[in-house]
Amino acid sequence: MREAQLKPQGGPPIPNHEDGAYKRRDRAGYWLSWIGPDGVRHVKKATARYLDGAREERRQWIRGEHPKQLADEAQRRETTFADAADRSLAYQKPRLKSPKSYVRQEGIIC
């Protein structure tokens, strides 16, 4: 009787994910899990369709060589505070009630 209570629901058991690449019962595809150098645990859905590809993708994330990581890093390097301030003001302009509010926001940001 006790064994029936401990048996997982929803199909056959899924192997553990010691290597950081695993499948979930409620989602399709592989998932990646790792702890970064800053001690934060990361979980991402793999773009690879097969286990070997998912493991290689995880290695790329850990080493910092994943194409998405490289693109994000390049964008961060190119962005200056002036660019971010201009984007913020352009975003806020249609949302502010009066021109005085825009001038006040511009004075705070710039």
Burial of 72-98, coded b for 16+ CB within 10 Å and e otherwise, reads eeeeeeeeeeeeeeeeeeeeeeeeeee
pLDDT at 7: 46
Q: What is the pLDDT of residue 4?
A: 44
**Distance (Å, whole) CA 19 – CA 100:** 57
User: What is the pLDDT tens value at each position of the chain, 110 positions in all?
Assistant: 444 444 455 555 555 566 788 888 888 899 998 887 778 888 989 998 998 899 989 888 888 777 777 767 766 777 788 888 888 889 988 888 888 888 888 888 77
Q: Among the residues of 15-80, which ranges form H helices?
A: 51-63, 67-78
Same domain (yes/no): 68, 92: no
Count how many domains the chain has.
2
Q: Which residue has the tokens 């009787």?
A: 1
Whole domain around residue 67: which residue ranges? 2-78
Same domain, 12 and 46: yes
Do 57 and 38 belong together in one domain? Answer: yes
pLDDT of residue 30: 92
| pLDDT of the residue at 10 | 56
Instruction: Give the sign of the dihedral formed by CA 21, CA 22, CA 23, CA 27.
Output: negative
Strand ranges, E, within 1-110 = 21-23, 30-35, 41-45
pTM over 0.85: no
In this prediction, residue 35 carries a pLDDT of 85
Does residue 73 sit in the same domain as residue 92? no
